[in-house]
Structure 1
C-alpha cells in the first residue's frame, strides 16, 4: 500500500487481530500511553498486542499483563539510517521483523517522522495515526483521523474511537513494576533505614528541558520543610538520572543539617528501579517529567510543579487539582514557546515554596491510605 493513500477499510480490527502500538519515547509519554494498551485489550480480549519502544523505557511496560512483547526501537543505533551502514542494517533488520509479524493494524501514537516511517514500513494494511501529526508523519498512514480532545491521553483514546474501536472501560493507567526491580528497591530502602510503612517522599527535581525545572534552591527549601514538619515520614529520596547528578549539587548544598541526614540520592540504574522506589513512596513531587506520570501509573499521590507546559494537555491524568503553576501561565492568551527557550526558568521560578507546600498538605491530607504497588 503506498504511503499517504487514505483507504476506507473496515471500521475496526477484529478480535484476535495482531496489533502494534508505536510509541518509542519519551518515558513520560510511554507511561501515558498505557491506557491505549489496556483499552485495546479490553475491546479485543484475544488480540496479540506488541509495542515498539525505546529499549531504555521497556521496563515501564514489559510486565504489563495486556502486552505480548516489547519490540526494541534503538533510535540512537539507527541514527543515520540510509547514510551509515551500521544504522541502515539495524533499521532494515527492524523493518524485516515488523513485516514478519504481519500486523493487522498499527497505531502510531508518537506522530513524528521516524514513527511514521516505521509505521509505513511495517507493511500493515491498516496504519492509523493523527491527521495533524508533525514532521510529515501522516504520510505513513492510510487511516488518518482528526481528534478534538485536549489531554494527550484523551487524544490517544479518541484516535482509537475514531478508528472504530468501541472503548469498553475507563482509562486504565496502571503500571507493573518488574519483580527484580521491586526487590532491588526493597533492599535499598532496608539498607538505608527507610521504613516504607512509615512513608517517604520521592522528589524528582529535573526534567529534559531546564525551563521545566523549578529552581534547585526552591526544592531544597521544600525538602527542609518536609523533614522539619515532618511530612509523610520525614524521609526524602531525590531522584535523577545518573548523568544529572552534578545538577543536584546546588540542592545538596542548600539542605540544612537536619535535612541532610534524612535525604538520600539513590543511584537508580534503570527505569524499573525508579519504578520500584516510586511505587513504595507515600508522595511523589515532580516537575513535568517522567517520574510524575510513573507515579500516577503506580497509584501514588502526586504533586506536579509546572511552568511553561500546559497541564490540561500533558498534566498528571486524573490529578488536575494536584498541579501548581504560576498565575501568569493561567492567564487567557498566555504563550511561551518553551521549545525556543529550553533553559529559561523565569516562568517556573515564579512559584513560591509556600504554594507548593500548601498543595503537599492538601494532597497528603486527603489522599487514601497508601497501598503497596504490585510487582510482577
Structure 2
C-alpha cells in the first residue's frame, strides 16, 4: 500500500531549497511514496522540480492576509479546506513549526508530526502535533530538516545532500558567465558598491560576462547603477523562478548576497560564494555539490579581498586554469 505524506513548508525561497534534500531522503527510504507539499503560490514551482513530489498544494497566505475577509479570499480558503479534508495522509510533517503553519496542519487529515517544545522556533506550535521530535536547534538548516524527516519516518539521513535538481543540470553546457545577486530583502544586507566593483574586475579578468539578477523596480535600478558604463555586464530582465534556475545552472560561478537565489545556485551544484552581512551563516550556510563559501557574519561583512580569494579557490577547486 502506497504511503502518502503531506509536507508543510510554505516559504521562503531559501527555506524551500533547504527542504529538497529531505525530500530526496524520504524518497530513497520509502520507494513509491506519494509526497504532497503545501507551499505559497509564488514559490509553487520549487516543489514540482523534485521528481519525488506528487503535487504542490497552493496556499496564498501572503496575499490572503491583506484581504482576509474579502469574498474571493474566503472562497479560496474554503476551497483549500475542502481539498485537504477530502484526502487522508499517513503522515503530515510540519517542517516550519510556526503558528502560521499550524492552521494548515490542523486542516489536513492524518497523523501530525513536528518539532517538540525545545526544538521549535515557536514552541507553542509543538502543542498541536500528535508526535513531537527533538532536533538540535542550532544545526544548519539542511541537516536539521533532514534529521526531522528521518525522525518522523524512522531512518537516519546519510550521505551528502541531494537536492533532486538534476533536471536542470544534466547535460547542460557551462557558459563563461558569472551570475551576480546584488540585492536582498533588507537594506542592511546590501554590500558597498566599491567592493562589488573590485569583484566585477576580478571576474571579468577571468573572461566572464557578468549577468545581474534583480526582482523589483528598486532592485533593477540598483543593479543597473552598479554596472553603468561597464562593458560585458548586463542586468537580466525579471523572470520566473524556473528561468532563473536555468540561468544559474549554466553559470560558471555565482556571487551573491545571502538570498534564496544564492542558496538555489548552491543547490544546483554551481560554484557559489555567499556574502553575509546582516545574518549568520551558522544556521544557513551554502551547501551543494560544487564549491561553496559562506563569507561574513552578522555585523561583519567580508571585504572584496576575501570574496576575490574565494573566487580564486572556486576556480582551483574545479580544476579550471586561472586566466
Interval of TM-score (by shorter of Structure 1 and Structure 2): 0.7 to 0.9
Structure 2 CA distance, aligned partners of 1:221 and 1:204?
A: 15
CA RMSD of aligned residues (A): 2.6
CA shift in 2, pair 1:300/1:322, >3 Å: same
1:274 correspondence with 2:271: no
Distance across 2 between alignment mates of 1:80 and 1:240: 25
Indicate how the Cα distance of structure 1 residues 320 and 213 shifts in structure 2: closer, same or farther if over 3 A, else same.
farther
| Partner Cα distance (1:352, 1:128) in 2 | 40
Name the residue aligned to 1:60.
46
Task: Tell me how far 1:218 sits from its aligned partner.
Answer: 2.0
1:306 aligns with 2:276: yes
Separation in 2, partners of 1:208, 1:33:
21
2:14 is matched with which residue? 28
Q: 1:141-220 maps to which residues of 2 (within 5 A)?
A: 141-148=129-136, 150-167=139-156, 169-170=158-159, 171-176=161-166, 197-220=174-197
Partners of 2:251 and 2:2 in 1: CA distance: 38
Partner residue, 2:315: 364
Is residue 323 of structure 2 the alignment partner of residue 352 of structure 1? no
Deviation of the 1:322 alpha carbon: 1.4
Counterpart in the other structure of 1:344: none
CA deviation vs aligned residue, 1:310-363 (integer Å, no higher than 9, x gap): 2121011258961221xxx4xxxxxx6xxxxxxxxxx35x53211211111111
Contact 1:21 1:107 in 2 (8 A): yes
Relative distance call for 1:197 and 1:313 in structure 2 (3 A) is closer
2:147/2:157 contact within 8 Å kept: no
- Which stretch of the first structure deviates more once superposed, 137-146 or 18-27? 137-146
Contact 1:130 1:145 in 2 (8 A): yes
**Displacement of 1:100 after TM fit?**
1.4
| Partner residue of 1:111 out of 97, 103, 106 | 97
Distance in 2 separating the partners of 1:35 and 1:301? 18
In 2, distance between residues paired with 1:178 and 1:322?
22
Question: RCO (CA 8 Å, sep 6+): is it higher in 1 or 2?
Answer: 1
The 5 Å alignment of 1:307-346 reads 307-317=277-287, 322-325=293-296, 329=297
Provide the secondary structure at the position in 1 that maps to 2:110: coil
**What residue number does 2:74 align with?**
88
> Aligned-pair distance for 1:168?
5.8
Quick check: 2:97–2:114 contact (8 Å CA) kept in 1? no
Deviation of 1:177 (Å): 5.3
| Segments ≥4 residues shifted beyond 3 Å | 80-85, 176-179, 318-321
Q: In structure 2, what is the equivalent of residue 7 of structure 1?
A: none
- Please list every run of 5 or more consecutive structure 2 residues that lacks an aligned counterpart in the other structure: none
CA contact (8 A) 1:116 1:138 kept: no
Greater share of residues in strand: 2
Task: Indicate if the aligned counterparts of 1:53 and 1:70 stay in contact, CA closer than 8 A.
Answer: yes
Note if 1:294 corresponds to 2:267: no
| Aligned with residue 123 of structure 1, among 96, 109, 132 | 109
- Aligned counterparts of 1:77 and 1:321: Cα–Cα separation in 2: 34
Q: Distance in 2 between matches of 1:139 and 1:368?
A: 51
Provide the C-alpha distance between the structure 1 equivalents of 2:151 and 2:261, rounded to a whole number of angstroms: 30
Match of 1:251 in 2: 226
Mind listing any 5+ residue stretches in structure 1 that lack a counterpart?
Answer: 1-14, 187-195, 330-335, 337-346, 370-376
1:137 aligns with 2:125: yes
Could you tell me which residue of structure 2 aligns to residue 239 of structure 1?
213
Contact 1:130–1:146 under 8 Å retained in 2:
yes
